Amino acid sequence: MKEWDVGVSDDDPRWEHGTPPSGNANFAWLQHMLYHLAPNGSMGLLLANGSMSSSTNNEGTIRKSLIEKDLVECMVALPGQLFTNTQIPACIWFLTKNKTERTAASGRKFRDRQGEVLFIDARNLGYMKDRVLRDFTADDLNQVTEIFHNWQTGESYEDEVGFVKSAELGELQKHDYVLTPGRYVGAVPEEDDGEPFADKMTRLTTQLKTQFEESDRLEGEIKKNLVGLGYGI
């Protein structure tokens, strides 16, 4: 909604963490929902990936305030092609007004998670439902859900390199308050295949040279066929 702020005052009480920029409603929508949460309320919000790292037009300031006031509970990076109306990747923000040790109405006990944020990089989950649309399996959804709930309760939770990480405020400050999960979960180390680097480069270079030669040969054959059809180039 590029014209979301028409008729909206800069002094609106919802903008506790900063006035959202004109032309982009991401942080207006986020703060609107946050403003209406109960004192112990929590929410999940789907936004474009840019919301996790943009620092222009006051967005970085708003994100910093949300983090410093300990309102961000969990960030989930999603793969692209999940939606029929856009192929851009998105993310899920989980915000909460209370990270202290408490018991939910459901009876589930939450451990004290003040000053911590959970990062889940789910970009490699899911499967291609057809040529253009990706979807999650029930196992994918259960995996993410269980990790989040286990982290909240402290039951059977462990960081997993390349997938999930519980980060403290100091780490977020070092990354300039960027909330992209990939910054925190790290990358899974690649297995060493035992082939020396020099030998591997020689092999790959020879392979590439052969492929280039084959490409030239095929191009010549195609041109010859086109000439035979009267369409020389």
Higher pLDDT, 103 or 175: 175
C-alpha–C-alpha distance, residues 76 and 97, integer Å: 18
CA atoms within 13 A on the CB side of 82: 19
pLDDT reported for residue 190: 62
Q: What is the pLDDT of residues 41-55, one digit of tens each?
A: 999 999 999 999 999
The percentage of the chain sitting over the pLDDT mark of 90, rounded to a whole number, equals 69
Alpha-carbon dihedral sign for residues 218, 224, 228, 231: positive
Q: 159 pLDDT band (50/70/90 cuts)?
A: very high
Q: What is the pLDDT of residues 161-208, one digit of tens each?
A: 999 999 999 999 999 999 999 999 998 666 667 778 888 888 889 998
Count CB atoms within 10 A of the CB of residue 143. 17
pLDDT reported for residue 32: 96
Higher pLDDT, 6 or 1: 6
For residue 194, the 8-state DSSP code is S
